[in-house]
Structure 1
Amino acid sequence: MFTRIASALLVAGLLATSAPAAHAQTTAAKKAAATKAAAAKTAAAKKAAATKAAAAKAAAAKTAAANAAAAKAAAATPVAPKPAPVPLTESLASAGIKDALNKGIVKAVQFASEPDGFNMNDDIHIPFPEDAILMKTTLSKFPGMNTLISTFETQLNRAAEAAAPKAKDIFLNALANISITDAISLVTSGSTDAATQFLRKNTEAQLITAFRPDISAAIDQVGAGKAYAKMTSQYNRIPLMTPVQTDLTAYTTQKAVDGLFILLANEESKIRKNPAARTTDILKQVFGR
């Protein structure tokens, strides 16, 4: 009986001793497996990175080789010599300057003749007469006069727009008077509006003479004459005020002519400066050098 009890106690003691040891062995095995898996994962990542770097290096080498081959081929290809510009003869200069002015005239007159061609263009808008500004300022204080003043200014621009088409034939006829010597000088000038100024010198007086009757008729037609008469009549009755005596037709005519030359100068400048504006072979040959 004693022997059995002793044997049971011995077995229990051995079991108690072996349990922690087995547990420790299991934990160590798990850690070793985890470490091995992590090492394998790291090795796989390094291998993938190395493969990617090798591929990138190969692609770069391929691109460099292609670029080198293209450069070599380009160097081996003979470059065609740039054609020499056509000599600027007197006849070419004359044709070029006349073509430039012709195109500028057509565009300028067309633009000025459109509704609001003068009225909505800050460059050529005809303002209230300068010598009547005091009248404008004074009358603007009277009830209802601001509307009349604003309408009157618009009517002046409408008169210029109505008369603008008259300028086209006068301008175009003046082109025939450009001599060969003048043409060479105008083409080679460093001024962007040399041809416009030449044309102005030779046509302004004629334009004013031709414009004046049309402007006068247009002023009456659009109602500017009546509006101006109403304003001056009221203003001139104010005590101590110097009566306004502006020649409305002369004022509007000069402003209309000025506006046309401004538009023409803009078109000439485009042709001289902007290759895209040289829409004919003549313009490209004369102004593209």
Structure 2
Amino acid sequence: MKRFTALLFSIFILSSCAELQQVVSQLPQGGDVLSNADIASGLRQALDFGIDKQVTKLTQEDGFFKNELVKILLPEELQKVDKTLRDIGLSSLADEGLKVLNRAAEDAVKEATPIFVDAVKGITFNDAKNILLGDNNEATEYLAIKTQSALYDKFNPVIANSFQKVGADQIWENLINRYNNIPFTNNVNPDLTDYVTGEALKGVYTMIAVEEKEIRTKISSRTTDLLRKVFALQD
């Protein structure tokens, strides 16, 4: 909520569109001045590239599980389950428990693209102005504000179904039961569907932020004329 409030406040204090247009007009563009629509289109294009390049990777097998930036680990209350099982020689069971959590996230992310596309289409010039002059992950933060609630609603049932499809329910029931039957341990039973949903969302925004930072900080990553012109404004 604080981030959203800061976003609105930033838009309010950045004066009029003329401020950024004055900056634009000072760029060496052979007499061509970027329009408000061009600037908004450039931000949309950058986000579209991030979604296409990075989010698609997460939908592949091991897209989460073998990506250390987003790999889903156990929630804190289950880390003791993992350690205890490994300590008594059940590492393979613990590994399988981790894998199915990540498989569920990989399934869920396939539902994300249409929601992102709608959010990107809605970027206005005022949005673009604030994003362009913001931090290296400003566009990603904007996207998170616009999509997080809808993505959670999409991801949650997919993850629940995926748990059933890949046998995660059985694996975790077996894993937790084995742990709970160990003498002198306290029983655990976390809501894994909610936990994995939240971690999948974090993973999606993390990978979009990776691409956004590339475009902002590396001219070689600006692969179209529009991206080069628009992001020259923040160099």
Whether TM exceeds 0.5 here: the answer is yes
Whether the 8 Å CA contact 2:97–2:175 is kept in 1: the answer is no
Aligned partner of 2:114 in structure 1 is: 169
1:208 aligns with 2:161: no
1:97 aligns with 2:43: yes
Match of 1:235 among 164, 173, 179: 179
Rate the CA distance shift 1:136–1:83 in 2: closer, same or farther, 3 A.
closer
Distance in 1, matches of 2:208 and 2:32, equals 27
Whether the 8 Å CA contact 1:86–1:285 is kept in 2: the answer is no
Distance in 1, matches of 2:213 and 2:87, equals 43
Distance in 1, matches of 2:59 and 2:95, equals 21
Pairs aligned (count): 206
Which ranges in structure 1 are unaligned for 5 or more consecutive residues? 1-81
Distance in 2, matches of 1:135 and 1:247, equals 15
Whether the 8 Å CA contact 1:163–1:214 is kept in 2: the answer is yes
How much is the aligned-residue C-alpha RMSD, in angstroms?
A: 1.7
1:87 aligns with 2:33: yes
TM-score (norm 2): 0.82
Distance in 2, matches of 1:248 and 1:136, equals 14
> Whose Rg is larger?
1
Distance in 1, matches of 2:93 and 2:181, equals 18
Amino acid in the other structure paired with 1:129: P
The share of aligned pairs that are identical, in percent, is 33
Q: How does 1:250-269 map to 2 (within 5 A)?
A: 250-269=194-213
Match of 1:187 among 110, 125, 132: 132
Q: After superposition, what is the alpha-carbon deviation per residue over 1:41-86, rounded to whole angstroms, capped at 9, x for unaligned?
A: xxxxxxxxxxxxxxxxxxxxxxxxxxxxxxxxxxxxxxxxx64574
Rate the CA distance shift 1:85–1:187 in 2: closer, same or farther, 3 A.
farther
Distance in 2, matches of 1:85 and 1:196, equals 32
Aligned partner of 1:245 in structure 2 is: 189
Match of 1:197 among 129, 141, 156: 141
Whether the 8 Å CA contact 1:278–1:284 is kept in 2: the answer is yes
The alpha-carbon deviation at position 201 of structure 1 amounts to 1.4
Amino acid in the other structure paired with 2:204: L
TM-score (norm 1): 0.67
Match of 2:60 among 107, 111, 114: 114
Distance in 2, matches of 1:104 and 1:150, equals 30
Distance in 2, matches of 1:146 and 1:223, equals 18
The alpha-carbon deviation at position 104 of structure 1 amounts to 0.7
Aligned partner of 1:224 in structure 2 is: 168
Distance in 2, matches of 1:89 and 1:186, equals 16
Q: How does 1:136-155 map to 2 (within 5 A)?
A: 136-143=82-89, 145-155=90-100
The alpha-carbon deviation at position 139 of structure 1 amounts to 2.4
Amino acid in the other structure paired with 1:247: D
User: Greater relative contact order (Cα 8 A, min sep 6): structure 1 or 2?
Assistant: 2
1:271 aligns with 2:196: no
Amino acid in the other structure paired with 1:130: E
